[in-house]
Amino acid sequence: GGGGGGKQSRAARRRAKKEEEERRREEEAAVVRANTVDERKVEMEKMFKTMKANNFDFEVVEIPANGDCLFAAVAHQLTTTTTTTTTTTTATGITITSTATATTTT
Has residue 63 got a pLDDT over 90?
A: no
pTM for this one? 0.36
Q: List Cβ neighbours of 106 (8 Å cut-off, separation of 6 or more).
A: 75, 78, 79
- Residue 103 to residue 77: CA distance in whole angstroms: 10
87-96 average pLDDT score: 78
Question: Is the Cβ–Cβ distance between 94 and 103 less than 8 Å?
Answer: no
- Residue 61 to residue 28: CA distance in whole angstroms: 34
Look at 57 and 66; give whichever has higher pLDDT. Answer: 66
pLDDT tens-digit profile of 14-48?
999 999 999 999 999 999 888 888 888 888 889 88
Return the pLDDT at 14. 94
Return the pLDDT at 102. 63
Question: Is the Cβ–Cβ distance between 84 and 100 less than 8 Å?
Answer: yes
Alpha carbon distances (Å) from 14 to 7, 10, 20, 21, 80: 13, 6, 10, 10, 59
